[in-house]
Amino acid sequence: MPSPNLTKGAARHPEKRRNEDRPQPRRPDWLRVKAPQAGAFTETKKLMRELDLVTVCEEAACPNIGECWSQKHATMMILGSICTRACAFCNVATGKPDQLDPHEPDNVALAVARLGLQHVVITSVDRDDLSDGGAEHFARTISAIRMASPVTTIEILTPDFLRKPGAVEVVVAARPDVFNHNMETVERLYKSIRPGARYAHSLEVLRQVKALDPTIFTKSGIMVGLGEGDEEVYQMMDHLRAADVDFMTIGQYLQPTPKHAAVDRFVTPEQFTAYAETGTKKGFLMMASTPLTRSSYHADADFAQLKAQRLSQLSSALDNQKSAHDNA
């Protein structure tokens, strides 16, 4: 059964052990967060252990874990705790993956119900070893949540299902409310930052989801501070809008260990605001762009706003049609 991977350093990332140590610059004040507190945080952690569930909050060393878990918001990571990729930015352990836990979909659903979540984000490791990349497991998890907690809206953050024909179709058929697949970084940096992935393929995943079911919200995110330029960020926005992506997130990359990719820059809060303003002008229904933004950070409130934005957009379109008809 999967369980939190508590190994550290080289044992957690054997493929990075030969990397030279890269300096970790002091974080500016705007990236400092409060330490986790007891109470709801402890209750959330206890429930995750009780149900033998893995969370990306822990595995990826998310800086927002204290805030989110204190509100009983946990992003569960399915398909085990060990990834078959070795991205330069990621703290999730790499190596020989776990056997699939057949009880995991039901345990995730039970956790969602017990936490009383209105909105849940489910992510996973990459599973290149599985014939479908874990698509059926995603579908089973979505179905189990629908049964256990019908009022909960479901957001999934998937791998790219590279060379897994039919996998995207399986997940879309399960009808999540939001399908998120993160681009992670700009096209120029893929070879060094995300070597196991393909930029064009990740864009195609997002395009395919919307083509298969236009009612599903699509979402993607990147980190900045990996060596990209602002113009490259804006170019990616254009690529995502061409794929009809609804929602984009942008957050600051934070180096998990000295062996991971170095932090190239700390982007200022003002520049994050500029990203959001530009993305809105380019047509995204939603932009979440702050130094501490992560894919699932404030996802419940963001989803409510996303639905409201779509309704407003549809209402405006209907009003314009009526006005054109009346003037005809």
The DSSP symbol for 220 reads E
Tell me what pLDDT residue 35 has: 64
pLDDT in tens, 144-178: 999 999 999 999 999 999 999 999 999 999 999 99
DSSP-derived secondary structure for 40-67: HHHHHHHHHHHTT--BHHHHTT-TTHHH
CA 111/CA 115 separation, integer angstroms: 6
The CATH number assigned to the domain with range 34-320 reads 3.20.20.70
Residues 6+ apart with CB under 8 A from 237: 248, 278, 279, 282, 284
What is the band of 295 on the pLDDT scale with cuts at 50, 70, 90?
Answer: confident
So what's the pLDDT on residue 54? 80
pLDDT reading at 243 higher than 80: yes
Question: Is the pLDDT reported for residue 324 higher than 60?
Answer: yes
- What pLDDT score was predicted for residue 69? 67
What pLDDT sits at residue 1? Answer: 44
Say which residues have a Cβ less than 8 Å from residue 272's Cβ, sequence separation at least 6. Answer: 250, 289, 290, 291, 293
CA–CA distance, 181 with 202 (Å, rounded to integer) = 7
pLDDT for residue 244: 97
State pLDDT tens for residues 115-150: 888 899 999 999 999 999 999 999 999 999 999 999
Q: Cβ distance 252 to 291 under 8 Å?
A: yes
Burial 80-107 (b: 16+ CB within 10 A, else e): bbbbbbbbbbbbbbbbebbebbeebbbb
The three-state secondary structure class of 202 is: helix
Instruction: Determine the 3-state secondary structure of 145 from DSSP.
Output: helix
- pLDDT for position 72: 66
Domain ranges of the chain: 34-320
19, two tokens: 């990397």
pLDDT digits (tens, 9 = 90+) for 36-70: 666 777 787 787 788 888 876 777 667 767 777 67
pLDDT in tens, 179-211: 999 999 999 999 999 999 999 999 999 999 999
Strands 286-289 and 217-224: unpaired
How far is 219 from 206, CA to CA, in rounded Å? 8
Distance CA 93, CA 5 (A): 7
- DSSP assignment of 119-137: EEEEEE---TTSTTTTHHH
